[in-house]
């Protein structure tokens, strides 16, 4: 798999984020910010298209956009790729890991349902609980 990333951060901000993310084990094959597409960031599809071009991916059917915000979901939908929302750790959930872990199972279920409904209302094709579920989904999609 190839990993391309889109961000709402500027290139200047990414000068700080990229090396720090790499230290934590996340280093995508490429990334694009709104700076690289004339300021047309999310919800526009252009950062995804730039990733596709850079990674030499010929069809939107072979791309999965995974995100934690409504604007991520809309970016995926607007570019015609599979759009997946992630609940745990998401901006849409709005809870730290500590806050999430402090919830009862009933509260977790209620909050997860709220976030899932938000993602689905925005057009998400799929919603996963956490990133551990992503490999199974990708295999299922055959992308």
Which residue in the block uniquely carries the two structure tokens 């899932």?
116
pLDDT digit of tens for each residue in the chain (143 aa)? 899 999 999 999 999 999 999 999 999 999 999 999 999 999 999 999 999 999 999 999 999 999 999 999 999 999 999 999 999 999 999 999 999 999 999 999 999 999 999 999 999 999 999 999 999 999 999 85
> What is the per-residue pLDDT for 143?
53
Pairwise CA distance, residues 92 & 115, whole Å: 6
**pTM (2 d.p.):** 0.92
What per-residue confidence (pLDDT) applies to 142?
A: 85
- Two structure tokens written together for 143: 């992308």
Q: Which residues of 38-53 are buried (b: 16+ CB within 10 A; e: fewer)?
A: eeebbbbbbbbbbbbe
């Amino acid at each position: 798999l190839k990993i391309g990333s889109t961000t709402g951060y500027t290139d200047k901000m990414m000068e700080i984020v990229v090396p720090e993310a790499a230290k934590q084990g996340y280093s995508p094959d490429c990334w694009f910010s709104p700076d690289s597409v004339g300021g047309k960031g999310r919800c526009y599809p252009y950062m995804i298209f730039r990733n596709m071009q850079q990674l030499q991916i010929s069809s939107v059917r072979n791309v999965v956009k995974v995100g934690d915000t409504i604007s991520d979901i809309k970016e995926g939908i607007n570019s015609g790729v599979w759009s997946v929302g992630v609940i745990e750790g998401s901006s849409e959930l709005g809870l730290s890991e500590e806050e999430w872990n402090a919830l009862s199972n009933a509260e977790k279920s209620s909050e997860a349902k709220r976030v899932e409904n938000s993602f689905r209302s925005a057009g998400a094709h799929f919603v996963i609980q956490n990133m551990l579920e992503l490999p199974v989904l990708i295999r299922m999609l055959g992308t």
